[in-house]
Structure 1
Amino acid sequence: MDPKIRTVRTLVSKLSSVSERIRTDALSELRQLSKHDPETRPMISDSGAIPYIAETLYSSSHLSQDNAAATLLNLSISVKEPLMATRSVLDGIAHILSHHSTTSSAAAVQSSAATIHSLLATVEGFRSVVGSKREIVYALVDILRSHNSCPPRTIKDALKALFAISLYPLNRATVVHLGAVPALFSLVVKDGRVGIVEDATAVVAQVAGCEESAEAFRKVSGIEVLADLLDLATCASMRTKENAVSALLNLVRFCGESVVNDVREVLVDVVTALNGISDVAGHGSSKGRSKASELLKILFDESDGFSNSSVLSTETKFDSLNE
């Protein structure tokens, strides 16, 4: 028998020990194996470890929670199907995330949020399953609400998880109904860290792609905030500006003519935001340029006194932003 398989099976057999110390030591070793030796990940899964690891997420010991959550994160890189096929995994992750401010350790919360992103980033079919777990979605949103007391890494992993969930269009209404929009815009307005704002606006752009977002954006002056981000004077990063353009484009695509009018009026009022859009159209990524051009076309091609060319010509009045 392969020595690695023998080692893994021995460690997994110890996960059912009546001794907490033996279980803790075995799980700690499995965590290290799954981190440093990718070949062991399928072996750990095939040896029946996943249900034991998921059960450990309910432990009152922070060390046990940390080891279990980190091991699941490591496994999620290579053995996504077995994790998703084990119902207790998502239930355990939901438990950790839901108790982020009470009994769960900060490290376990971070690893659990990262696991959601890892599972969903490349497998579209899993997104509807996780999106139907309202406890997970609500907990991720609640982490954003608690951003003042959560480590930045946890906030970023929660944002990435929500982004992956929102890539599935039918999940977006659930994300909106569970309060994501005010939580996201609070981050954008109050958190000055570039990476956090970039990740938050990426999620904003996704959730804007459903008709339920219209009212939620109105309540937090979301269109105005996005326009401010596009103002070159704010010195927002190009990625943030591209996300703002994408959010406005999704709003006008999905939320009807009244929202088209709202966006148009705000952009006319905040004329410097138009220069931000033209900056993306001229200097952004290929996707960003395409979306900026489409947004300008939808808003102004058929409006009196405006056209793509007239909007783009205003760029010379302001210093352009160079990334």
Structure 2
Amino acid sequence: MPPPDERGQQPRRRRMLARPAVCPCEAIAPAPLLASLLSLAADAAGLQGDALPAVRGAAREAVRIADLLHAFLHAVRGAASGGDARPLPDEAVLGFSELHVALQKLRLLLADCARKGARLWVLMNAEMAASELRVVMGSVATAVDTLPEGVVAASAEARELAGLVSAHAWRAAARLRPDPEDDRAARGVRSVLARFAGGVMPDAEDARHVLDRVGAATWSGCAEEGAFLEAELLERLETGGEDDNDLVLIGGLMAFLVYCRVVLFDRIDDADKAEAAAVARPPARCAAWINPEALQCPITLELMTDPVTVATGQTYDRASIKKWIKSGCRTCPITGERLRSAELVPNVAARGIIEQLLLSRGVPLQEPSSKHRCAVDKTLAPFGAAAAGGVRLAVAFLIARLSRGTPKQQKKASYEARKLSKRNVFYRACLVEADAVPWLLHLLSSGDASVQDNAVAGLLNLSKHPAGRRALVESGGLGLIVDAVNVAARVEARQNAAAVLFYLSSNPEYCEEISRIPEAIPTLVHLARDGAYRGRKNALVSLYGLLQCTDAHGRAVSAGAVGALAGLLLGSPAAAAAEGDDLALDAVALLARIAEQPAGARAVAASSELVTRLVDFLGESASRSANEHGASLLASLGRHGGDRVLALLGKLPGLMPALYALIADGTPQAVKKARWLVNEIHRHYEKRQAPAAARAPAGGDHCVIRV
């Protein structure tokens, strides 16, 4: 993982076939510069031939030259450190520096040509890759030719090797070209893309030839290549200033890989291998010294994928702690200390341990995708006719398998639908248009837990699309989703089903329909009370959406929502710290919405312990949104609870300081609520004190403080 920049942010990923290089400083001594050159040459020469499926002829020639160069540099160092050694001349620094820059570029180019997952992209840019290698070979030859005689003639071996490096490098600079097979495979890809653009299914043998050429002749190989292209596409969309031609090519190649993955392969080989490994290997054999619980993010309680350390020394998952800080909380969730800086430092050691743990279980560590989410909306339209045609052909094949396939084919198709719908808006639209939603709903009743899980996850992704939500409701899927929240075989499926209800509740009409299902609100309340962290979170946000319907308030109160939310607020301090108070914030927001109606306010006010905790929460929270919800909730209790609640609030010592602080530094809405509540509490006590003042003896001194 690359180090963070000075602002604590991860630098942008280097674009493929780009050749950034750093020139050594002018004051560097020849000896350390030579040591660095030896390391660079060894890296370039150490590349295995079978790791170069694309541009292999040119890349292998460059590797041989790097090997010769390594031998030459080794001979120079040996002559400089022998018995009759002569120190390297200072004038060698200029030639070594030029060679150092050239070797940096060569190492990057060779690494790109050998990079697993990027081989199809290199194949389609084979001419550019070969051209870059020619330029670098010319730089190597020039740098060796300009080395001082004292370096080249350090020994007979050094002199001979220098001549070989120069001759081979100059010849490579003139002759390196892409292999004829590369050209044939690239033409095959363009032929397939042309067929996609015309809506015609390509010849399977053409596609298989390309996959064989780049070493991606399996489902997992296609998936790996597709993951690289997706990351490349989203990176370019996020940074802006992208080349439209490159985007069209990337989109077309992604569609090519999707088509190959869906149509050409009957099984998902990496998933089968992982499942077989899990069965064959007992859990106890996974690195005994690793404690998986210690690698969970304290906020989400899920295994970290991108661990970072904050200023207090505590480690969190990057996405979770960024969300925490963005919400206005500038304290460490575990220690409670104020964060002096928002800098996030990657915890490389923790990431290495997590990767080792996952690999021991046969699961690859996925790169975090949160940095690409802002670019997903830009995938609404396809990048070219080939991208559109290829995906539509693959989706049509998927629907046929979902509707008429064998159970094994349906299992693979459900997984493909889940994967396709994850991070590309156009892919979601294609699935919805092809009527994937009814078939995924049908698979909710599958006896295979993995099929059911894939169907729910696919529906969750499609529910993020307006047309997907409409298709789900029109297909009669609301009741099926509610049932899945309650009875799905896997915890993940129940959690995802709850999230589907959240997206559906964004539409007032759908919200009304969901709230009228008798089991809907009680099921979500049960999940909020007894589920795991993610299940609780999804249940809370779904309930919040449903409570925009007035009729839903009474159902939520009857289902015990207030008690479930009170449990989240009155739980143990250790649990609250582990969850980063995230669920508590959601609970207060939900209680505020429930208390908008008199019945809900009375249910909340019935527990003096809960009211006391709400006041404490208002004083403790650093989040402006949490304070606004807290003030709104207490104001609703005062409005609907009458004198009894106002009397209780007036007796709580922490309330007035919290309200005054909110009036001084809160949002306009929070200030309005806090000011109203302060005035109401004062009016209540003024009314109580008025009769006593009337009965006081003449001349009695009585003072009422009003703010």
Alignment of 1:140-179 (within 5 A): 140-146=524-530, 150-179=531-560
Q: Aligned residue for 2:460?
A: 73
Q: Matched residues in 2 for 1:229 and 1:31: separation?
A: 40
CA distance change for structure 1 residues 35 and 181 in 2, over 3 Å: closer, same or farther? same
Q: Is the 8 A contact 2:505 2:546 kept in 1?
A: yes
Q: Aligned residues, how many?
A: 295
Q: 1:302 to 1:205 in 2, by over 3 A?
A: same
Partner of 1:36: helix, strand, or coil? coil
Instruction: Give the greater-gyration-radius structure (CA).
Output: 2
Paired residues of 1:260 and 1:299 also in contact (CA < 8 A): no
Compute the TM-score of the two structures, normalised by the length of structure 1: 0.84
Distance 1:310 1:143, change over 3 A: farther
Q: CA deviation at 1:288?
A: 1.9
| Aligned-partner Cα distance in 2 for 1:201–1:130 | 23
Matched residue type, 2:550: P
Deviation at 1:277, TM superposition (A): 1.9
Q: CA deviation at 1:302?
A: 6.6
Aligned to 1:304: 686
Cα distance between partner residues in 1 of 2:633 and 2:544 = 13
Give the number of the structure whose residues are more often helix, by fraction.
1
Partner of 1:31: 418
The separation in 2 between residues aligned to 1:86 and 1:251, in whole angstroms, is 41
1:315 is aligned to none
Equivalent position of 2:635 in the other structure: 249
Residue identity over aligned pairs, in percent, reads: 24
Match in the other structure for 1:269: 651
Equivalent of residue 55 in structure 1, options 417, 420, 442: 442
Alignment-mate amino acid for residue 138 of structure 1: P
SS of 1:35's partner is coil
Matches within 5 A, 1:134-213: 134-146=518-530, 150-190=531-571, 191-192=575-576, 193=579, 194-213=581-600
Partner of 2:515: 131
- Cα-Cα RMSD: 2.3
The answer to whether the 8 A contact 1:113-1:140 is kept is: yes
Query: Structure 1: which 4+ aligned runs deviate by more than 6 Å?
Result: none
**Among residues 95, 105, 117, which one is paired with 2:490 in the alignment?**
105
Partner amino acid for 1:284?
G
Q: Which residue number corresponds to residue 395 of structure 2? A: 8
Determine if contact 1:12/1:48 at 8 Å carries over to the other structure. Answer: yes
* CA deviations over 1:99-146 (Å, ceiling 9, x no partner): 2xxx5311111111111111223x223221111122121111001221
Equivalent AA in structure 1 for residue 643 of structure 2: N
Alignment-derived partner of residue 309 in structure 2? none
Deviations 1:189-241 (A, max 9, x none): 105131010011111111111122244224433333322323x3xx2333433
TM-score, structure 2 normalization? 0.40
C-alpha displacement of 1:4: 1.7
Larger RCO (CA under 8 A, 6+ residues apart): 1
Return the alpha-carbon distance in structure 2 between the equivalents of residues 278 and 152 of structure 1.
34
Q: CA–CA distance in 2 between the matches of 1:69 and 1:211?
A: 37
Partners of 1:76 and 1:119 within 8 A in 2: yes
Unaligned runs of 5+ in 1: 313-323
Candidates 69, 86, 95, aligned match of 2:475? 86
Unaligned 5+ runs, structure 2: 1-198, 200-388, 689-703
Contact preservation (8 Å) 2:568, 2:584: yes
Answer yes or no: is the 8 Å Cα contact 1:58–1:65 preserved in 2: yes
CA distance in structure 2 between the partners assigned to 1:265 and 1:199 by the alignment: 27
Shift of 1:17: 2.8
d(CA) in 2 for partners of 1:61 and 1:136?
24
What SS is found at the alignment partner of 1:237?
coil
Q: CA deviation at 1:310?
A: 5.8
Shift of 1:282: 2.1
Structure-1 separation of matches of 2:513 and 2:706: 43
Could you tell me which amino acid in structure 1 is paired with residue 626 of structure 2? T
Residue pair 2:631, 2:674 contacting (<8 A) in 1 also: yes
1: distance between equivalents of 2:483 and 2:547? 21
Counterpart CA distance in 1 for 2:665 and 2:511 is: 32
Cα displacement (A) at 1:303: 4.8
The one-letter amino acid paired with 1:112 is A
